[in-house]
Structure 1
């Protein structure tokens, strides 16, 4: 299966899960210090969506 089709099958729930996991790892790298949760989420969203556009 090509990467674009695999990515499309992921769906919105899968996308959110990848963003959630990526944001968690970003928070982990900064020691879970409070106050940057939104930045972690937005950066993770950009990273996941950027990976999706590369795959298409």
Structure 2
């Protein structure tokens, strides 16, 4: 990335020159990965004792769906 202003070796951009990021929509693979990680941490929190992997997944899916809807 090329700087527009240099001060003592530090690259700084002028305030009006913002970089546009292509955020896009969360794809299905990323969403599934988030759910899988959340389900894993639910099982980890109880020491992987008892519980039900499907219930962990469903609770994690609900959590991630709520988080993603609140970001819209």
TM-score, length-scaled by structure 2? 0.64
- Indicate the residue corresponding to 2:37 in structure 1: 21
| CA shift in 2, pair 1:19/1:54, >3 Å | same
Q: Where is the helix percentage greater, Structure 1 or Structure 2?
A: 1
User: Residues of 2 paired with 1:23 and 1:42: CA distance?
Assistant: 8
TM-score, length-scaled by structure 1? 0.80
- Indicate the residue corresponding to 1:40 in structure 2: 56
Q: Which 4+ residue blocks in structure 1 deviate beyond 4 angstroms?
A: none
Unaligned runs of at least 5 residues, structure 2: 1-19
Q: Deviations over 1:2-27 (max 9, x none)?
A: xxx8471x300000000000000000
| CA shift in 2, pair 1:39/1:26, >3 Å | same
Q: Please provide the CA RMSD for this pair.
A: 1.9
Look at both structures and tell me which one has the larger radius of gyration over its CA atoms: 2
